[in-house]
Amino acid sequence: PITAVVLVAAGSGERLGYGMPKAAVPLGGEPLLLHALRGVVAAGVGSQICIALPAGHDGLRQLVDDFRLELADAGPLLTVVDGGSTRADSVRSALAALEDGTEAVLVHDAARALAPEYVFERVVDSLAAGALAVIPAVPVVDTVKTVVATTGEDSKVAPELVTGTAPREELRAVQTPQGFHLPTLLRAHQAAQALGEKEFAAVTDDAMLVEMLGVPVHAVRGSTQSLKITTPLDLIIAEGLLEGPLG
Ligand code: CTP
Ligand code: MG
């Protein structure tokens, strides 16, 4: 299928705490966005890459312009849109800017700047084999429990009370790039507009919206290298990964 990549890079990077949008934060001396862009281009999976950037950030726009010149005519079409106030809004803006004739889309977090090529390939292969939605996922290493905040006397003992333990064998930590049949993802984002504010705030990935439609979502093997650079610790790990791939 004719495939595009949406690269969402419009977040503010609050948890990283650099006082600048995360896409501009240096990793190995270069902005995170540059690493992410290189990774997407190297994977060679899209004829268009549409990047959602923080509105009004001239530096990041310049970075994309420079990168476009570097690619010259051989590379994919690089387009830029202003992101929105939530990730889902940024995705929606980018989807609206895809070229006519686009059949499939990979939605990727710029924050997963070191996602390996083979993960992109697994997602694309699954789409080519007929999946309408496919996500990269890895097993969860921690035991995961549900909790509630304690109240009254209980809160003197501890701030939270455990309500259950999730079956770890069935759990997966989900990454990007997530791949979709474009009309299906558009329909999912359309349906999301009917969600209440609280429900919408709980939407953390695109596959979740497709699940709500009742469309099957398939999972392929992701990679620990695709970590989402979120906290200062993640940045340290990413710097380490730049030194050489995992064994
Ligand atoms: N993102 C986006 N538009 C938003 C929010 C997030 O394009 N309004 C993107 C981010 O740029 C990132 C990805 O979605 O590539 C995942 O988001 P996250 O890791 O939460 O990044 P930030 O929102 O920048 O970080 P924080 O939540 O700590 O502010
Ligand atoms: Mg965020």
The residues with which 221 forms a beta bridge, in sequence order, are 137
Please report the pLDDT score of residue 12 as a whole number. 97
Kindly list the protein residues that place their beta carbon closer than 5 angstroms to ligand 2, a single-atom ion.
11
Question: What 3-state DSSP class applies to 125?
Answer: helix
Q: 115 to each of 138, 142, 177, how far by Cα in Å? A: 13, 22, 8
Check pLDDT > 70 for residue 247.
no
Digit-coded pLDDT (tens) for 147-199: 999 999 999 999 999 999 999 999 999 999 999 999 999 999 999 999 999 99
Q: Is 117 helix (H, G, I), strand (E, B) or coil?
A: helix
Given 3-state DSSP classes, what are the helix, strand and coil percentages for the chain, each rounded to the nearest 5? 40, 25, 35
Q: Is the ipTM of this complex over 0.95?
A: yes
| Closest listed residue to residue 131, CA positions, set 121, 143, 123 | 123
| Nearest ligand for residue 112 CA | 1
Q: Give a yes or no: residue 166 inside a domain.
A: no
For 35-49, the pLDDT digits (tens) are 999 999 999 999 999
Would the CB of 20 count as within 6 Å of ligand 1? no
Residue 91: which pLDDT band, with cuts at 50, 70 and 90?
Answer: very high
Nearest CA to ligand 1 atom 19: 230
Within 10 A of 38 (CB to CB), how many other CB atoms are there? Answer: 14
pLDDT tens per residue across span 10-36:
999 999 999 999 999 999 999 999 999
pLDDT at 232 over 80: yes
- Answer whether residue 246 shows pLDDT above 80: no
Name the residue range of residue 44's domain.
3-137+171-243
The position carrying tokens 């064998």 is: 169
101 within some domain: yes
Classify residue 146: in a domain, yes or no.
no
Mean pLDDT, the chain, integer? 96
Query: What is the reported pLDDT for 82?
Result: 98
pLDDT digits (tens, 9 = 90+) for 47-89: 999 999 999 999 999 999 999 999 987 789 999 999 999 999 9
Instruction: Give the whole-number percent of the chain exceeding pLDDT 90.
Output: 96
pTM (predicted TM-score): 0.96
Q: What is the share, in percent, of the chain residues with pLDDT greater than 70?
A: 99
Rounded distance between C-alpha atoms, residue 220 and residue 226, angstroms: 13
Q: Which of 108, 109, 176, 208 has the most ligand 1 atoms within 8 A of CB, as the residue to mutate? A: 109
Can you say whether the dihedral through the CA atoms of 25, 27, 67, 104 is positive or negative? negative
Q: Is residue 157 situated within a structural domain?
A: no
- Is residue 126 situated within a structural domain? yes
What average pLDDT does the segment 237-247 reach?
Answer: 86
Q: Is residue 88 part of a domain?
A: yes
Phi-psi category of residue 131: left, alpha or beta, with phi > 0 → left and psi -120 to 50 → alpha: beta
Cβ–Cβ under 8 Å, residues 2 and 106: no
Q: Is the shortest distance between the CB of 228 and ligand 1 below 6 Å?
A: yes
**Distance of alpha carbon 104 from alpha carbon 2, whole angstroms:** 6
In a domain, 49, yes or no: yes
- Total domain count, the chain: 1
Q: What is the dihedral of CA 57, 62, 68, 71, to 10 degrees?
A: -120
Q: Tell how far the Cα of 101 is from the centroid of ligand 2, in angstroms.
A: 31
3-state secondary structure of 168: helix
Alpha-carbon gap, residue 197 to 154, rounded angstroms? 31
How many H helices and E strands in the chain?
A: 9, 12
175 C-alpha vs ligand 1 centroid, how far in Å?
13
Tell whether 155 is covered by a domain.
no
What average pLDDT does the segment 105-112 reach? Answer: 98
Half-sphere exposure of 185 (CA within 13 A, CB side): 31
Task: Say how far apart CA 93 and CA 7 lie, in whole Å.
Answer: 11
Which residues are within 8 A (CB) of 12 and not within 5 positions of it... i.e. 6 or more apart? 21, 22, 54
Nearest CA owner, ligand 1 atom 1:
11
Ligand 1 center to residue 151 CA distance, Å?
Answer: 33
CATH of the domain at 87: 3.90.550.10
Please list the residues that pair with 50 across neighbouring strands.
6, 79
CA dist 64 and 51 (Å) reads 9
